[in-house]
Chain A
Amino acid sequence: MSPRPGTRTRWPRVPPAWRRRGGDAGRSADLEHAVRGQLTVLIGELELVLGRDEVPAAQREASARRATDAAWAIENMLAGTAAGTGAGPPLPGQPSAPTGRWRRLRSLSLTTRFTAVAATLIVAIGLLVNQVTDRTLQDSALADEAAFASNTVATRLVPFLRAADLEEALSGPRFAEIDRRIQEVARDDPDRVGIVLWRADRTIAYSSDSQVIGRQAVDDDELVAALAGVAQRETKPARDAEIRLDRAGLARVMEVYLPLRLDGTRVNGVFEIYHDPTHSDRRVAEADRQISRVLFAGLGILLLVLLVVVRGASAQLRRQSEQLVAIESRREADRLQTEFVGVVSHELRTPLTALVGFSELLLTRDVPEANRRQWTELLHSGAERLRHLVEELLDVTRIGEGGMEVRPAPMDVADAVRDTLAAYGPVPAHVQLVNSVHPGQLPLVLADHDRLVQILTNLVSNAVKYSPGGGRVEVLARVAGSGLRLSVTDEGLGITSDELPRVFSRFHRIDDENRRGIGGTGLGLYIAQQLVELQGGTMSVDSPGIGQGSRFHVTLPLQPQRRA
């Protein structure tokens, strides 16, 4: 009855619906549903046992068994008997990763987890107590029976039966003495006791109770065997007993058939002692049932209290953590927003200053033609910067909403590099911009030309921007594995290893003395990386360190066929 590992494999641990549905969310919902189902069975069975005064032992056992099964099913589902834990064979449709167990556990609500654990504990403890009391009952009944049969009867009664035969022993003045002794023995015994003396012809010669003297036994194998000289012992339900004790509430009868040898050799008859071990058992059983009832009720209450407490605690925890998360994310959002507004307003103000300033100059001053052209160009340049900034902001919004579109097609990256550098404005005199990607020399990639130009423009612009001391800015490409790696390298400020993982984060800008005053929104690399990934590529960065330049790499998937 106690839970044992062997029972685990017998229960359907993975609900079919769970197997069918994909995704963690569906799986955890199904798992939770299945666990709740088993919990209903478990609690129902417990209530069944608890709610009745007289639960037949068989039914109690069956209920307990079903409750245990349900508890095991829950345990199994929770544990998932994840392959590799050694707890059981791997389950179909279940991930074999050892982390699966914890992910699924975590996916259940705290309440469900606690309910399952508490219920499993209740059943386990209840069954343990049951088993112990069962064994105690059995042992004590057997001991009683043995003591009664062998000692009491034999030592106290047989000496009074000394006679030539049973009829002689039970006749005359000795009968009263024997009957008195027998009644005394019966009365002294803690069990309800009856004594019958059978004749060799299997009729009743004497009964301590209301049995009919002279009644013939029918098909009583034990009696026959005892008459043949072999003592017998039998326990049977009262309704099946040969001898019906006229007492209410008799459940089981223990019968002992002792061959009666009045002369010490021949079997003259059989001494049947029957008693009702359930009479004494019943006292134990009643106590046991009381204990069980109190135990179950207590544990039930404990479970309820636990549920209430856990539910309350988890709700509170959830509320608190939600509040914390909300506060944290609001703080972070606020911080980012403040930073973003600061950066954007700075970035906006610069081109805006140029627009306002140059348009005012053109409108209010009598400007020589040479200046007019130059200022108009600068005005245009400011407008372009403003447009670029707005584009960046729109790109970020589009990426955030999943509305960014890319149309990859077979292309030579050299075309994109050429177009990038051709459209790139004048570079400072101390920066040497080198194109090392030559057309027709590399396999075609699958990429969106315009987006790739946008990405490269950003990378080249960064390389130039962060090379205030000048140096070489180079665009290179080579085949790397199943992709083509485009790199933009510079000899500029470089990036510390701490900063490397964060350079692609939205709004992130490296804040150091050298970079102060270098404009940027912290959006360019974020957008570039998102664009690369949308095209099935990857983006990475490395830098030997501060003052030693940076290398940004874009790896794009090759077109399946290579250029001839």
Chain B
Amino acid sequence: MTGPGRSTVLVAEDDPLILALIRASLQPLSVTVLEAGTGPAALALARSAGPDLILLDVGLPQLDGFEVCRRLKADAATRSLPVVLLTARAQQADRDRGAAVGADEFVAKPFSPAGLLAEVRRWLG
């Protein structure tokens, strides 16, 4: 965990454009943003940095977001980390799959920066 007053958000997203948008969206929060471009990187960073929130894209290379989430929730060390799944597919099947692997919330693309900001705020309390 990071020091008091400054939360850490892990953004696991491979698309630089979306990554930049998430960064910009979270700008008012003064949080520390950690970035991971692949599934394994996201897993490693989640384990090592212990972020307060994970924004996890489902379409990550090498290991997709569902699998990363499943592994995080299966691991006692990372089980408590809230995971918000980001997906381009706003289909019920994806929600079901996300719920099955233990995702805490679900944000569909295209998303509103304000909506995302509110969601992140809610999780960071």
Binding site for B on A (CB under 8 A): 342, 345-346, 349-358, 360-361, 364-365, 371, 374-375, 378, 381-382, 385, 468, 513-519
Contact = CB atoms under 8 A, between A and B. Distances in A.
B52 interface: no
A349 B61 contact: no
Given A349-B110, A353-B18, A517-B62, 15 more contacts: A346-B59, A349-B88, A349-B109, A351-B17, A357-B111, A357-B112, A357-B113, A361-B25, A365-B28, A378-B17, A378-B21, A468-B38, A513-B62, A516-B62, A519-B15
Contacts of B88: 345-346, 349-350, 353
Given A353-B18, A468-B62, A518-B61, A361 B24 contact: yes
Interface string B39-77: 100000000000000000101111110000000000000
B118 to A, nearest CB: 13
A346 B89 contact: yes
Nearest to B90: A349
Contact of B113 (A345, A361, A517): A361
Interface residues of B, number: 28
Nearest to A371: B24
Contacts, number: 91
B119 interface: no
A23 B59 CA distance: 50
A493 to B, nearest CB: 10
Contacts of A354: 17-18, 20-21
Interface in B75-99: 88-89
B69 to A, nearest CB: 14
Contacts of B21: 353-354, 357-358, 361, 378
B14 interface: yes
A151 to B, nearest CB: 104
A358 B89 CA distance: 20
Nearest to B64: A516
Contacts of A342: 89
Contacts of A519: 15, 59
A351 B16 CA distance: 11
Contacts of A516: 59-64
B114 interface: yes
Nearest to A516: B64
Interface of B: 14-15, 17-18, 20-21, 24-25, 27-28, 37-39, 57, 59-64, 88-89, 109-114
A375 B62 CA distance: 29
Contacts of A518: 14, 61
Contacts of A353: 17-18, 21, 88, 109-111
Given A353-B111, A354-B17, A357-B113, A517 B61 contact: yes
Contact of B89 (A345, A351, A356, A361): A345
A484 B84 CA distance: 51
A356 B25 CA distance: 12
A382 B61 contact: no
A385 B88 CA distance: 15
A358 B111 CA distance: 11
A341 to B, nearest CB: 11
Contacts of A381: 17
A513 B62 CA distance: 5
A360 B15 contact: no
Contact of A378 (B20, B28, B63, B64): B20
Contacts of B18: 350, 353-354
Nearest to A385: B17
B17 A514 contact: no
Given A346-B88, A378-B17, A357 B61 contact: no
A350 to B, nearest CB: 6
Contact of A517 (B25, B64, B109, B114): B64
A346 B60 CA distance: 13
Contact of B62 (A358, A365, A514): A514
